[in-house]
Structures are given as structure tokens and as C-alpha cells.
Amino acid sequence: MYSARWALVVLIGLSALVTGTLALTAWRRRRSPLGRTFFLFALLVTVYTFGYMCELASDTLAAIRFWLHVEAVGIAFLPAAWIILAVHHTKTANRYWPQLKAVLLMLSTITFLLSNTSPEIHHLHYGPLLLNPAAPFPVVIFKPGPWYWFHSAYINLAVLYGNILFARAWRNAPPAKSNQAFVLFLGSLFPWGVFIAYLMDAVPWGLDPHPVAFLVPGLLYAWATFGLGMLEAVPLARQEVFQRLSDSLLVFDRDGRLADFNLAAARTFPFLADDAKGRRGRDLFQDYAAMLPVLDGSADEQIIHLEVDGDRVNYQLQRIALLDGHGDDAGLMVVLRDITHFSSIMEGLRLQAAIDPLTKAWNRTRWKKVGRELVAQAGRDKQPIALILADLDDFKIVNDTHGHVSGDRVLADFARTCRSNLRAEDIFGRYGGDEFVIILPGVDKAGATALAERLRREVEAMTVADGATLVSITASFGVISIEDGEENSLEDLVRTADAMMYEAKEAGGNRVFVYEKKDP
């Protein structure tokens, strides 16, 4: 059995070499968020495996006892290091994490102290150390104490908790993090299975199989480190940028299931949580009709309006296809960019372009567009609608006599008088020159006639100062209304009101003429 002993020593030495290399690599990359944590974990495994290698190579009980004290450093603190590694890698949020970490380190410290003072002072961790007479080479055996079994349970719970976190990250994290989490999860299963076999006395002569078993996760973790970039700064930087972007980002896999989202997306859609990952995008966002074409690929861009923190926010949705290293479909990313400020600027520019700067009246393009919609709506709802066409009497004389500056003042005051008598839903537009149109949704003939008469009187009483001279003006009004869902176009109403207004002018001006429908 001489060859078996040294074969074990070589295997365990190889395991220590692999984990030691990982610890050195992690220390060199310690500036990364996971570097220090993984360094601690790999270092503890290295101390444990190296100590056991030396234990198996020892021929005396005194030498074995020395190396047991070295191994205790790794054995005691490995459960805490495993949980800390899992929490850091998966970015698990827990407001009690500082307290939990303190408890873990306290339990590990107690294990370390009890292990290094057994059996000389007490038997809480293990009883007297003996050499196994049945073993072909020096192998120590002992009777486990109560804290030994407590620490065994602690190790199992720590591995289980870490694996739960890694399994969740494997399922929900972005591809790069998901692959790393899977390797870490897979690597823990082999030593865990060996540990259970050890507790069931399935290993001969009381040998500890863990240091040999750590060779398998050591190689897997080397793959995660060098092949999957677990300690690289670029993936971490990308993830940090992903989370800090002000744009809301939603990542979906090739099956249309939510794979990840950043903090901005969580603020935009408060219902998003970790349990939303893995659900189909169409199910999650079924109440957001504008998003569905982007999700199913029938549109690459959309505009959506959302309520965020009580404010109405306009977003531009953009679909970005994600491809893997072979150029195959890997999913998609939806970017929501807040364009509220830009929309406000554009709306202001549109309003500015649609409003006459002198009279603040809508230009012809705008009032015709809205007017057509109002006339059509009144016809569908069988509601009344009225239209007034107003024209200043002898306005050319005002311009010729007092100049265009005074003429502009007259136009501005006339428009101000009209606007002050209108409701918010009424439309006041400039028809051309000194002619103006007023559209009154929901107003019948009597109401429109009363308004036109009131405007006529106020305009007649209006004066504009031109130096020491007061300029007076009057206006003529043509009125038409439709009721009970009569079919008419805006153009027909304007044409009729215009005819009424010219009749008022021909009658001497400063009058209101109302269109009376002739009986058939």
C-alpha cells in the first residue's frame, strides 16, 4: 500500500496546486469585486488540502497533530467563505447581511479555537487522537465531539444555501453570469457528495476524501476563471454600466423570456422583481399594448406613454437583436429612452409654429385639422356645433390712416377680446388678414348668436391709442350652427358663415347675421 499512500499525496498535492494557482490569480485580480472573495475561498481550500497532504506524508502522531492545526484554518472558515462568495457573485440583497456575516465568522472562529484546543483541553470537537491500526500507513482516527457534528451541519447548510443562490443565478442571470454560477454550483456538488459518503463511513481507514475531491471543483473553477472570465474586469464593468444606465433596459432570451433588467427598468416597471425573470415578455407586459409589437418583432421602434412616480413620461422603445459568438439569435434587448423633455420641446415648437404670434390665434392648418375632427364628432354624437366668422370693418382705412403698427395693435386687441370670451374647448383661429374663425363645440344657434352679439358690442367699445388719437373699430359676424347630427363638412360651415358675414358687411357692418335653414 506504499504506492497508494503516495498516489494520494500526489493527487492531493495536485489539488492544492490547482486551488493555490486560483488563489494567486484571484489575488492578482483582487481589484475586481469578486477578486478578494474568491481569493479567500481558494486560499482556505489550498491551506486545507496542503495541510492534509502533509498529514498523509507524516509518519508520527505529533507531526499529524501539527498538520491538523493547519488544516483547521481551512476547515473552520470554508463554510463562511463559501456563503460570502455566493452572496457576492449573485449580488443577493439582504438588509441583515452584515449581521449574518458576523455570525458566520463567529461560528467559524469558535470552530477554529475548539479544533486547536482539542483534545488537550476538552473533547468538544474531537476526542483523543489515535493511529488507525487497520490502515497500511499512519492515518489518524478520533471520536467526534458535539461541536464536530454541529460544524458538520453548519457546512451542509452553508453549501446548501450557496447552491440555492447559484442555482437562482444560473436560471435568472445574464448568460455570462449564468454560466459562471452554473460552474460554481456544479463544482460544489462533488465535495458535498464525498462529505456525505465520509459521514457514512464509506471511505476506508478513516481517510478524509475532501482534499482529493477538491481537484474536480478546482478544475471547474479554473474554467470559470480563465474560460468564462469570472475575475475579468470587462464583464464586471459591463454589468456595472448596464445597471447604472439611465435608459431602462430589458433583456430577453431567444424564447422571449425575461433574462435581466437594470435598475432604471425596475423604476419604470415597479412590478419587476427577481421572480419576473424567466417569465415570457408578452405575459409580463400584456397591459402595455405599445410594447407588444417590439417584443414580437413586428416593429423595431415605438413610442409609449407611462405613469412613473405620478408623472406622465414619454418613452421611445427600441428593439436590439442579440447574437451569440456564431452570429446566431441569442435573444433581444429592449431599450426605453425617456424622451419627455424632447417631446415637450417638440410640442412647444409645434404649438409655436401653429399659433399666430401677433394674435395668438391658431393658424389655418391647425384650426382646420381640429375643426374637421370636431364637426365629425358632433355628427356622430348628434351634438350641436357652431361656427362664427368675424371680419374687422374698414380695417384697411385704419392701416392707411394710422399705420401698420396701430393696425397690429387693433388686431391684437380684437383677438384678446375674442379669446377672453371663449371657453377652453373653443377654437379661435386666423382665417386670413383681418378675418377670424371661432368654432364652438356643443353650442347651438342661440348660444352662438348671443356670443357673436357680445363680441360685436365689446369690439365696438374698444379703442386703441395712436399717440394722442384713439382708434375705434367695429366688426361684422357671420354665424351658422348645426344640430341633431346634420351632416356637414367644416368647409361647408365656413363657406356659409363667410356668406353671412359678407351680408352683414353689405348691410353696413357692425352687425351679426345668422344663417337660417330654409324649410324644404
Kindly list the structural domains of the chain, giving each domain's residue range(s) and its CATH number in brackets, ordered by start. Answer: 2-236 (1.20.1070.10), 245-344 (3.30.450.20), 355-514 (3.30.70.270)
What is the model's pLDDT at position 3? 79
What is the model's pLDDT at position 260? 80
In whole angstroms, what is the distance from residue 461 CA to residue 232 CA?
82
What is the model's pLDDT at position 233? 53
Instruction: List b or e across 174-195, with b for residues whose CB sees 16 or more CB atoms inside 10 angstroms.
Output: bbbbbbbbbbbbbbbebbbebb
Q: Kindly give the pairing relationship between strand 475-482 and strand 512-514.
A: parallel
In whole angstroms, what is the distance from residue 445 CA to residue 449 CA?
6
Task: Tell whether pTM > 0.75.
Answer: no
In 253-409, beta strands by DSSP E: 258-261, 301-308, 311-323, 329-338, 385-392
Helices (H), ranges, 288-333: 292-296
Q: Rounded to a whole number, what is the largest CA-CA distance in the chain?
A: 133
What is the model's pLDDT at position 170? 81
- Contact status, residue 480 vs residue 516, Cβ threshold 8 Å: no
3-class secondary-structure state, position 354: helix
What is the model's pLDDT at position 393? 92
What is the model's pLDDT at position 51? 94
- Contact status, residue 389 vs residue 494, Cβ threshold 8 Å: yes
Residues 6 or more apart whose Cβ sits within 8 Å of residue 164: none
Exposed/middle/buried for residue 242 (C-beta within 10 Å: 0-12, 13-18, 19+): middle
pLDDT tens string, the chain, 520 residues long: the values are 457 888 889 989 999 999 999 999 889 888 776 888 999 999 999 999 999 999 999 999 999 999 999 999 999 999 999 999 988 888 777 778 889 999 999 999 999 999 999 888 999 998 998 999 988 889 998 899 999 999 989 998 998 998 888 888 887 766 667 788 888 888 888 777 787 777 777 778 888 888 888 888 888 888 888 877 777 655 555 666 666 777 888 888 878 888 788 888 888 888 887 667 778 888 888 888 878 888 888 778 877 777 766 677 788 888 888 876 667 777 888 888 887 665 455 555 565 566 888 888 988 888 999 999 999 988 888 899 999 999 999 888 888 888 888 888 899 999 999 999 999 899 999 998 899 999 999 999 999 999 999 999 999 998 888 777 788 899 999 999 998 767 789 999 999 999 999 999 999 999 999 998 765 5
In whole angstroms, what is the distance from residue 122 CA to residue 31 CA?
42
Dihedral angle of Cα 338, 344, 350, 355, to the nearest 10 degrees: 170
- Contact status, residue 201 vs residue 6, Cβ threshold 8 Å: no
What is the model's pLDDT at position 238? 60
Phi, psi of 391 (to 5 degrees): -140, 135
What is the model's pLDDT at position 350? 60
The owner of cell 351632416 is 487
Question: Please, which contacts does 209-215 make with residues 24 or more away whose CB atoms are closer than 8 Å?
Answer: 210/48, 210/52, 211/12, 211/15, 211/16, 211/48, 211/49, 211/52, 211/53, 212/8, 212/11, 212/12, 212/15, 214/15, 214/19, 214/45, 214/48, 214/49, 215/11, 215/14, 215/15, 215/18
Cα–Cα nearest to 422, from 406, 402, 436, 401: 436
Phi, psi of 279 (to 5 degrees): -90, 150
